[in-house]
Structure 1
């Protein structure tokens, strides 16, 4: 029963077969001595060791890792990049061809009379896309998502940069990420009230710097009195701002409830909901020599801290970020289990299969060596003698070698080509097993011969496991990116560069992960739009998702409508409103047309005088009824006039 009690099942149990993970208390203590520093919490050791293992597989260092843990044959291991290819392939299908920021309702801003909500959505979408261009969002997404696919987790942080007047987006290695929950409050969808990022800083004797640990902390807490940069014993700290009466003062806009001594603040994204919570940022360093076994990342001594200073001179010692949320977004690679916060790596389940594949590649390399340079046995040959030792010299078979054999002499070669062929078949078998277990499919990893696919429908069925894999991975991320974009809005509002108001929903739209039959999509969209089943907005959106080069749906709709003369004609027939037609075509308003009164039947067309007789017309009001002939003409031609004489 002793072994049963020691069986550990957790989010990283898939690594229990590794010797370096055998000790649940200090895993990886021989392979990763840097994890044994005093500030690393014991409950995070298995997670950090797992990240190290996965990084080693990604960089073709699994053999070196095995050698470091006691496997003498680890250095001979052949690693041909299969884990890295698996990560990159999964990442490519997850991200799709492109990613776009979309605010629901922004496509309707180009309509004839857009609603204020549609105009606001379009303006927000434009601002978010401009911010994404400046912050290189596609590159940051690639960085974070590759780490999430490999390690199971990725982390984004957002920070307001006063000098650039925009939010900075950064990614962190999940090994630096230490969330802190209160007991019993951990949940996959809940955020902790305190988050730490910590890592070691190596000593630099040339600059006189000792080994340190840096920790960045985001913490939610009640709003307090205003603070400002100060110094105590030569250390930069934050100190209270006091008024003329010597009493501490509040930050501009805050309100103190005298009855409860609670300070409240109205944030620009919730003008009708005062909040008593804000987020504090601390960025400090500690010397490793000042830390003992009693200190970990959650309990570093404040009196030993050296606080950093931001570019605008603000000391990062519980700096009030003027926001009621922690600007950190954790990206899990998979949907976490109940009660778990961490995702699961793409390499986790097939890791032993990757070991088998590497072992087979190693055996294949050895077999190919004996096949290319076979082992030869000589019988009855006269071998050269080493004159110094009197012993036969080793024989090396090279091109052009000639051996003298006796009458009964014989030369035999060891043929290992059959074993090499068997090993190659085993590699193919393992690759098929890998494609099946990862749900990438043989078509997804590129090992399927397209000539063997009978039809497109058969290919679609073959890719169905890949569709479910990508769907689950994107489901785990959709809410996270909506939260990220909401934080971007609110931090810009806190920086007073974007208009105040309630945050609008925005999401990151992924591109198609499999090849799309554009001709079929175009046919369906055209038929649906002509039949009135699809709106123009939906039709253009479908074309964009199919891979057509449409950057902005609203602008594309505007271009289409400017040339839609048939639809404009039907609009004119239906409404009789020329201004609506011009607005539909994107034309400016026309000048008003002067209305000319028509002559009623029975009237002469001239106003009557006071005595009832028709008045003589003004010369300017005379209208010719016949075309006058030029001088010298022999006749006149007019309506009802005589012909030439």
Structure 2
């Protein structure tokens, strides 16, 4: 009986057409993907790890190398000219836009006297932007987005660094990321336990065996305080702090034993004798919490692992725990936070009850294979076109005959009677192959929703109008909107964790700060008609239907070099003398005019009293004696 092939449909089934990825049982080739078949890798993650490696090979022009390793004898002759990498870079550039800006709602307030909420929002926004500059967040975003767009997933890991006195952000390959998702858990929800695990190769020079390193973050109930200690095997571990036993002399005459002392607690923890639970008041929460995050960093020698064990069930009694720079052993170390500082970034919105995103190459991978095949055929055809195949018959004039000879420019052959020559013309085949390559490029752009104008392969002069350009970018708009939707909540979560880590680390600049909802705003990605935007803004402000604040923000979004909206508004107003005059005429308030212009205006002194000329025949009035026109005594 013929063996029935298992059809596997999952987040990576778009790779099933490749024999190297899916055998008769739907599993990846063991020789090509040995990492995916490691004994500690869970069965559910084998196809995911193999998919990451295969997608990375496409990105690095090594797909043919993997195919050759699986036994394809013709794969080594295949040409790969970087089309997958071009698609990845293009999509990433459009998703991120020209710049990325941290924004806090209410921070860009109007007026010089903001309320307390607006002032707090402005302070948090300034602190976050300063941290992003110091931490080089823009570079971290590029690193993670490169992983997410090409592989389908990216991972951020945050931590408080006592030496740098700030939160740090690191990007991890998703192949090291192993979330623990139970059968009854919603895959779309945040897991409560996450592992980062990888193998370390043996180092005979240093006497090191092959090892497995695993870093684990886990949310669990708050336990009694622990301290660094040694176990019976001499390993550094965290052990419970001993509690003083009850003194027998304290037992009363009735024989009642007094209540045992509470367990050792971390500073600020509260113990409830009725329930035995320990709570903690975090500065960012209104109510006490009973949950904290524990960190474990352990290493195993692969030879010490006996029996079946995956990444989640590695025996801790055979592990060696790492020690942090401050001497703390990373064995269920309480991080004093009630969240896991890990953010998984999917490239696309995951399907319902799914956890993983999908690579940008997923829908166009077969087109890219066809494109590589056409490029290979074109390369072969161009070789025969440049150096054609020549057929020669007849003997040379000197009577000598040759079965074959090399043809070079300027070579003259003199043939005898009845001789002749013919060539094989492959130029038509080459032209057809080039048309095929162009057609496959268009097909890939259509399926991937990346129009030619976005790829930079379209002559701008061929577009009839700006409206036609906008219509051609419709598929790209939908693609970018969907991908940004998958990212909005994730980057808001990163900024939320950064604020909480600053508060947990008791940074002096964050004293008294209340965490604010912050987001990462991506800049525009499509060409903008700056002249049209400028005309629209000018007409709106002059017509009184747009505020100056809105107008300046529109100009900044259109790509005008405006770094600070408020400062730009102040500079505009400081030169608007005609509007300042109108303000003075309308209010008569000199102080308001000075505030508008951003300068100190000194009010004009009171005008002197009007002095009328004397009436003819009368003497000039003495100013000290008063106005004679008002009358005085008997002189009328």
The aligned residue for residue 493 of structure 1 is 503
Counterpart Cα distance in 2 of 1:457 and 1:510: 24
Aligned in 2, Cα 1:581/1:74: closer, same or farther, shift over 3 Å? Answer: same
Aligned in 2, Cα 1:127/1:624: closer, same or farther, shift over 3 Å? Answer: farther
Q: How does 1:157-556 map to 2 (within 5 A)?
A: 157-188=157-188, 190-232=189-231, 233-242=233-242, 248-270=263-285, 272-382=286-396, 394-497=404-507, 498-500=510-512, 502-556=514-568
TM norm structure 1: 0.87
The aligned residue for residue 36 of structure 1 is 37
Q: Cα deviations across residues 494-537 of structure 1 (Å, max 9, x unaligned)?
A: 11112355421111111111111111112212222333322333
Aligned in 2, Cα 1:238/1:565: closer, same or farther, shift over 3 Å? Answer: farther
1:345 partner SS: coil
The aligned residue for residue 256 of structure 2 is none
Aligned in 2, Cα 1:265/1:563: closer, same or farther, shift over 3 Å? Answer: farther
Aligned in 2, Cα 1:419/1:594: closer, same or farther, shift over 3 Å? Answer: closer
Counterpart Cα distance in 1 of 2:219 and 2:316: 18
Q: How does 1:21-170 map to 2 (within 5 A)?
A: 21-23=21-23, 24=25, 26-108=27-109, 111-170=111-170
8 Å CA contact 1:529–1:539 kept in 2: the answer is yes
- Give the CA deviation at 1:564: 3.8
8 Å CA contact 2:16–2:26 kept in 1: the answer is no
2:416 partner SS: strand
8 Å CA contact 2:107–2:119 kept in 1: the answer is yes
- Give the CA deviation at 1:569: 3.7
- Give the CA deviation at 1:424: 0.5
- Give the CA deviation at 1:35: 2.0
1:539 partner SS: helix
Two-structure CA RMSD over aligned residues (Å): 2.7
Counterpart Cα distance in 2 of 1:67 and 1:384: 50
Q: Cα deviations across residues 140-195 of structure 1 (Å, max 9, x unaligned)?
A: 1111001100001111110000011100010000111111123221232x100011
- Give the CA deviation at 1:71: 1.0
- Give the CA deviation at 1:574: 4.1
Counterpart Cα distance in 1 of 2:305 and 2:317: 12
Q: How does 1:550-629 map to 2 (within 5 A)?
A: 550-587=562-599
Aligned in 2, Cα 1:383/1:70: closer, same or farther, shift over 3 Å? Answer: farther
Q: Cα deviations across residues 338-396 of structure 1 (Å, max 9, x unaligned)?
A: 1111111010110000000000000001101111111111111349999xxxx956421
- Give the CA deviation at 1:411: 0.8
- Give the CA deviation at 1:555: 2.9
8 Å CA contact 1:284–1:306 kept in 2: the answer is yes
1:221 partner SS: strand
8 Å CA contact 2:214–2:298 kept in 1: the answer is yes
1:106 partner SS: coil
8 Å CA contact 1:220–1:278 kept in 2: the answer is yes
1:216 partner SS: strand
2:214 partner SS: strand
The aligned residue for residue 13 of structure 1 is 13
- Count residues with an aligned counterpart: 597
Structure 2: runs of 5 or more not aligned: 247-260, 611-621, 628-636
